[in-house]
Structure 1
Amino acid sequence: MKFEHAPQASYEDVGGGQVLHSAPGFPGFPARLAVELFERARVLVGRERVGLWDPMCGAGGILTSVALLRPDALTRVLASDVDEGALELARKNLLLTTVPGLEARRAELVERGAAAGRVASADRLLARVAGLPAPPASLARADVTDPSSVAGLDLDGVDVVMADLPYGTQTDWASTSTTPTAQALEVLRDALPDGAVVVLSTTEREHLRGLPDATRSFKHGHRYVRLYRTGA
């Protein structure tokens, strides 16, 4: 895959464990790829600003990366997951899209004697967010494979969904379905308005079993990516 929207640059400040919170069992997601996939989805939606939802948010890395690097393109962000531990980690990371949250994180890094490079990353992120209001962020516990669970979410204004599918070795589905990805996609398509875009990413090809033809599909490194436009 050729990058079309995320320029070649250093994304170290929003990745690599520099500033964002991490924990065992919560795999990260490349920040540059997150921005690229978000922008491709936004182009398909056809709006300058969109609402972004990650229904399998884990540590919230995708949402936090996009909110830090493309805040002017967001109207809101929504993080949901079945795991309360994941939501707590995502909450801490989404706070880093605000000046108070980053200031507190910087002070924490200094107090813990973090490497100077990590503190410098926090300073650069502070300079980045200082002039732009953070998009409103909300979190909720929900199982994306369960229609009744998703029905309880506030999806007003959500135009783009981005999800990195569970890895199996580090995370796993709550659903017992033999095709949980297909089940989740069906729930998402029913819950979203026509014209919304669902982006699914996985490193395990078996997760794509049973999926319908995608609006866009490509491979980047070890990741398989599918984009679906609802109502299409």
Structure 2
Amino acid sequence: MEYKYSPKENFEDLSSGRVIYGNYGIPNYPVRLVNEIYRRCLAYSPKKGNIKLYDPCCGGAYLLTVLGFCNQNTISTIYASDINDSMVKYASKNLSLLSPAGINERINELEALANLYHKPSHSMAIESAYRLKERLLNEINVHVFKADATNKIPLPEPVDLIITDIPYGNLVDWQGDASAFSKMICELINIATPETILAISMDKKQGLKNDRLVRLEKNNIGKRKFEIYRLA
């Protein structure tokens, strides 16, 4: 895939587990790729700033936290939801890093670890945290909540962009059958407006067919693919 909007650069400050919290079961996403997806969505959107962004399968919100750090000039509000209580907890911790108070708390944690264990990795993480702090031009409004993305998502207001990496196996676990994918797509359509742009990352074996959506583009990335849509 040709990158149009996200130039190649060093993203090590945004590595999972360095400053952004990571843990077993928290999905990651390539930083350059998710920035490219976001910026392609922005190109399709009639709005170019003050963007309200939502991920209904946020996991630990690594994807959203990365976007928040990298797109301070266009994102105003982030909504994040997941069905798993543990993931909601981690999502709240990670998205708090987008505030001065949250990143300062993380710096204090890393400095305490560095003083206790004297590991080079902690010193490097502190340096990364200070660099990420310098990225914070505006404090993004953050809202994290528990929700089943296949059943009446309680989103309090319309959003401009919906970007999500669909965890196929987890969706089947939620509902006990493969129809969960279609149910989630229907719920996303229900909360979208004619101006909303949707980007869905999924396994190649998943097929998205819905007469209420118009596909704007499709790209294959290894074993996965992402597709960008708007309402028909």
Q: Does TM-score exceed 0.5, indicating one fold?
A: yes
User: What is the identity, as a one-letter code, of the residue corresponding to 2:126?
Assistant: V
DSSP-derived class of the 1:138 partner: strand
C-alpha change, 1:34 and 1:58, in structure 2 (3 Å) is same
Q: Does 27-36 or 55-64 show the bigger shift?
A: 27-36
1:160 aligns to what? 161
Counterparts of 1:164 and 1:16 in 2: how far apart (Å)? Answer: 16
1:123 aligns to what? 130
1:214 aligns to what? 215
User: What is the identity, as a one-letter code, of the residue corresponding to 1:182?
Assistant: S
1:183 aligns to what? 183
Counterparts of 2:166 and 2:230 in 1: how far apart (Å)? Answer: 18
Counterparts of 2:16 and 2:65 in 1: how far apart (Å)? Answer: 13
State whether residues 199 and 227 of structure 2, in contact with CA within 8 Å, keep that contact through their aligned partners in structure 1.
yes
1:30-88 CA-partner distances (Å, limit 9, x unpaired):
11111111111111112112210000000001111111110111121000111111111
Counterparts of 1:26 and 1:75 in 2: how far apart (Å)? Answer: 25
1:95-152 CA-partner distances (Å, limit 9, x unpaired):
11111111111111121125222111111111221xx1121000111111113xx1x3
Counterparts of 2:75 and 2:127 in 1: how far apart (Å)? Answer: 26
How many residues are matched? 222
Runs of 4+ in 1 over 4 A off after TM superposition: 209-213
State whether residues 179 and 209 of structure 1, in contact with CA within 8 Å, keep that contact through their aligned partners in structure 2.
no
1:26 aligns to what? 26
Aligned pairs for 1:95-134 within 5 A: 95-113=96-114, 115=121, 116-129=123-136, 132-134=137-139
2:4 aligns to what? 4
1:142 aligns to what? 147
State whether residues 16 and 22 of structure 2, in contact with CA within 8 Å, keep that contact through their aligned partners in structure 1.
no
1:145-192 CA-partner distances (Å, limit 9, x unpaired):
113xx1x32133x11001111152xx4441234232222111111221
1:69 aligns to what? 70
Q: Does 205-214 or 184-193 show the bigger shift?
A: 205-214
C-alpha change, 1:183 and 1:101, in structure 2 (3 Å) is same
DSSP-derived class of the 1:52 partner: strand
Q: Does 1:55 align with 2:56?
A: yes
Counterparts of 1:191 and 1:119 in 2: how far apart (Å)? Answer: 39
State whether residues 181 and 208 of structure 1, in contact with CA within 8 Å, keep that contact through their aligned partners in structure 2.
no
Please report the TM-score for the alignment, with normalisation by the length of structure 2. Answer: 0.89
1:6-43 CA-partner distances (Å, limit 9, x unpaired):
11111111124211001101121111111111111111
Counterparts of 1:96 and 1:72 in 2: how far apart (Å)? Answer: 16
Q: Structure 1: give runs of 5+ residues left out of the alignment.
A: none
- CA root-mean-square deviation: 1.7
DSSP-derived class of the 2:220 partner: strand
Q: Structure 2: give runs of 5+ residues left out of the alignment.
A: none
C-alpha change, 1:2 and 1:15, in structure 2 (3 Å) is same
User: What is the identity, as a one-letter code, of the residue corresponding to 1:117?
Assistant: M
Report the CA distance between 1:209 and its aligned residue: 5.8
DSSP-derived class of the 1:112 partner: helix
